């Protein structure tokens, strides 16, 4: 039997850890806006855009880290810092630009977010690893400032005057909820909650919702105030009480509902709170078909530890797990492990470094990845693509050595993201892996294809 949430920590084989109160969780959810976003996962400021997010091509066709392709002189310099919704964490690689007309709204449901061209002469830049930016404007007067990381976008009127202009944080902090009238957009998200990994607590710590009972029972309604959550809940494991939208069949078995979202979270467990080897929706042909269609259409699917079958069954071949056999749930470990971690991704490493984080530990891993494999799929245009899953985080697992813990891969216009560890917050603040999730969620959602100037 899997240990209770209260007792599981006592059976964890813990590695040496650094006490960090870090926000690793924001990166994987970002995506380009409809027709405007030129964000990338490149290291901000180096003038290059490279494939950093599981198979997507972010070649910006000559776009530099800031400026404009017009010959008009800079008459004003806008400076500021892009922050996460909670207001303190700098966001790297966010697109910042000024235009005379506000951009078109981002579609409210799943869509293929293809990168397009900015109008010639548009002043733009990308935020640095600490979220700071400097944007040279070539005209003054009443304009719109656009700050965007994927489908997190804030649009605000700005009066550009000659010389130096300090942009207030109110205009550069990513929004907490969608308010189209105010110029704010976030991804349309749904959590199909499990019994163990309360990812809604991590999202609330990032400014997306309000925690009302961090130490409450396993029901998701006791963890956050549903009225403040800018995402929808569906009940997952049968033993959990229904969320505000009903149980998992309402979304996973009905594509007309599933397609209303940009991001679907399938956090642990589907274990029925006693064993991982149980019948679950990942083996349902209709559910598999719907999730495959959702991702190919541009959706982002995120699963953690005991929910790994939603990756293995629905998108076979990309990832192998330690201990896995043919039986459903065979790769679930009887106890969790912690491990010293590192990231092979330069953008993530630089972002952590800007926060003073050079070492961290991933905690509460309940599965262990073995390897990733290249698979033939298609890109956003339908052309053949040999896709190798991107490894975001590695960790040292006792008995297994250094193995991947967070991976993502592309399917047509969308992505699948999986991590072996929990992301739920603690009373003392966000775990390092939660900060990583912030970064990765934003990066996994960037637009498909190439971005350039008209």
448 vs 112: CA distance, rounded Å: 8
25 vs 442: CA distance, rounded Å: 9
> 319 pairs with which residues across the strands?
372
| Residue 61: pLDDT band with limits 50, 70, 90 | very low
Same domain? For 163 and 202 the reply is no
Q: Which residue has the tokens 């069949």?
A: 249
Q: Of 180, 196, 228, which closes a domain?
A: 180
Q: Of 117, 147, 180, which closes a domain?
A: 180
pLDDT of 272: 55
In a domain, 202, yes or no: yes
pLDDT digits (tens, 9 = 90+) for 268-290: 876 655 567 666 789 999 999 99
What is the reported pTM?
A: 0.84
Same domain? For 206 and 325 the reply is yes
pLDDT of 284: 92
Same domain? For 193 and 171 the reply is no
In a domain, 204, yes or no: yes
Same domain? For 259 and 308 the reply is yes
Average model confidence (pLDDT) across the chain: 79
**Does the structure show a pLDDT above 80 at 430?**
no
What percent of the chain stands above pLDDT 70? 74
- Cβ proximity of 132 and 90 under 8 Å: yes
Q: CA neighbours within 13 Å on the CB side: how many for 406?
A: 29
Q: CA neighbours within 13 Å on the CB side: how many for 39?
A: 34
* Average pLDDT, integer, range 247-262: 94
pLDDT of 200: 83
pLDDT of 169: 98
Same domain? For 342 and 207 the reply is yes
Q: Of 180, 215, 239, which closes a domain?
A: 180
**Domain holding 144: CATH number?**
2.60.40.10
Name every residue whose Cβ is closer than 8 Å to that of residue 233 and which is 6 or more positions away in sequence.
Answer: 190, 191, 193, 200, 220, 221, 226, 243, 244, 245
pLDDT of 437: 77
22 vs 339: CA distance, rounded Å: 16
**Does the structure show a pLDDT above 60 at 368?**
yes
| Cα-based angle 30, 201, 15 (whole degrees, multiple of 5) | 90
Same domain? For 376 and 392 the reply is yes
**Domain holding 218: CATH number?**
3.40.50.880
| Residue 36: pLDDT band with limits 50, 70, 90 | very low
* Average pLDDT, integer, range 326-332: 90
In a domain, 33, yes or no: no
324 vs 306: CA distance, rounded Å: 12
**Higher per-residue confidence, 396 vs 193:** 396
275 vs 411: CA distance, rounded Å: 31
| Residue 301: pLDDT band with limits 50, 70, 90 | very high
Find the domain containing 206 and state its range: 8-26+187-446
| Residue 387: pLDDT band with limits 50, 70, 90 | very high
In a domain, 58, yes or no: no
Strand order in the sheet with 300-304: 232-235, 189-193, 263-266, 300-304, 414-419, 401-411, 390-397, 337-342, 360-365
In a domain, 421, yes or no: yes
pLDDT of 110: 96
Number of domains in the chain: 2
Give per-residue burial for 120-137: e unless 16+ CB within 10 Å, then b.
eebbbbbbbbbbbbebbb
pLDDT of 12: 31
Cβ atoms within 10 Å, residue 198 = 28
What percent of the chain stands above pLDDT 90? 51
pLDDT of 376: 96
**Does the structure show a pLDDT above 60 at 157?**
yes
Cβ atoms within 10 Å, residue 41 = 28
pLDDT of 211: 76
Same domain? For 138 and 231 the reply is no
285 vs 47, 144, 146, 247, 422, CA distance in Å?
45, 47, 42, 18, 27
389 vs 52, 183, 392, 407, CA distance in Å?
11, 35, 9, 6
Same domain? For 435 and 362 the reply is yes
In the DSSP assignment, the letter for residue 434 is: H
Largest CA distance in the chain: 68
pLDDT of 144: 97
In a domain, 42, yes or no: no
| Residue 247: pLDDT band with limits 50, 70, 90 | confident
**Does the structure show a pLDDT above 70 at 154?**
yes
């Amino acid at each position: 039997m899997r240990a209770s949430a209260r007792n599981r920590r006592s059976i964890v084989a813990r590695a040496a850890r650094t006490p960090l109160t870090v926000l690793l969780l924001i990166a994987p959810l970002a995506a380009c806006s409809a027709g405007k976003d030129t964000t990338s996962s490149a290291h901000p400021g180096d003038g290059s855009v490279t494939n950093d997010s599981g198979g997507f091509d972010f070649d910006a066709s000559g776009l530099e880290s800031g400026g404009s392709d017009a010959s008009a002189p800079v008459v004003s310099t806008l400076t500021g810092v892009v922050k996460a919704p909670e207001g303190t964490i700098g966001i790297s690689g966010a697109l910042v630009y000024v235009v005379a007309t506000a951009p078109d709204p981002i579609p409210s449901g799943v869509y293929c977010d293809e990168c397009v061209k900015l109008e010639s002469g548009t002043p733009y830049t990308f935020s640095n690893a600490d979220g700071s930016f400097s944007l040279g404007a070539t005209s003054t007067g009443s304009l719109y400032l656009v700050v965007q990381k994927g489908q997190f976008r804030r649009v605000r009127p700005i009066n550009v005057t000659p010389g130096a202009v300090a942009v207030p944080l109110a205009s550069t902090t990513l929004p907490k909820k969608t308010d189209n009238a105010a110029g704010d957009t976030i991804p349309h998200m749904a959590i199909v909650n499990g019994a163990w990994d309360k990812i809604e607590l991590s999202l609330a710590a990032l400014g997306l919702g309000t925690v009302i009972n961090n130490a409450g029972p396993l029901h998701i309604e006791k963890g956050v105030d549903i009225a403040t959550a800018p995402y929808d809940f569906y009940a997952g494991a049968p033993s959990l009480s229904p969320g505000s939208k009903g149980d998992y069949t309402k979304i996973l078995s009905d594509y007309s509902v599933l397609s209303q979202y940009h991001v679907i979270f399938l956090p642990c467990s589907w274990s029925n709170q006693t064993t991982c080897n149980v019948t679950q929706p990942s083996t349902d042909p209709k559910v598999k078909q719907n999730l495959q269609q959702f991702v190919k259409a541009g959706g982002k699917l995120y699963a953690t530890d005991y929910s790994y079958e939603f990756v293995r069954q629905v998108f076979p071949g990309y990832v192998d797990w330690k201990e896995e056999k043919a039986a459903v749930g065979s790769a679930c470990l009887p106890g969790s492990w912690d491990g010293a971690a590192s990231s092979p991704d330069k953008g993530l490493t630089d972002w952590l470094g800007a926060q003073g984080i050079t070492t961290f530990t991933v905690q509460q891993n309940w599965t262990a990845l073995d390897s990733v494999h290249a698979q033939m799929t298609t890109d956003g245009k339908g052309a053949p693509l040999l896709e190798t899953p991107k490894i975001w985080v590695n960790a040292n697992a006792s008995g297994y050595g250094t193995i991947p813990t967070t991976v993502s891969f592309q399917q047509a216009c969308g992505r699948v993201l999986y991590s072996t560890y929990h992301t739920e917050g603690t009373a003392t603040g966000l775990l390092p892996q939660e900060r990583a999730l912030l970064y990765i969620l934003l990066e996994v959602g960037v637009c498909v294809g190439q971005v350039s100037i008209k």
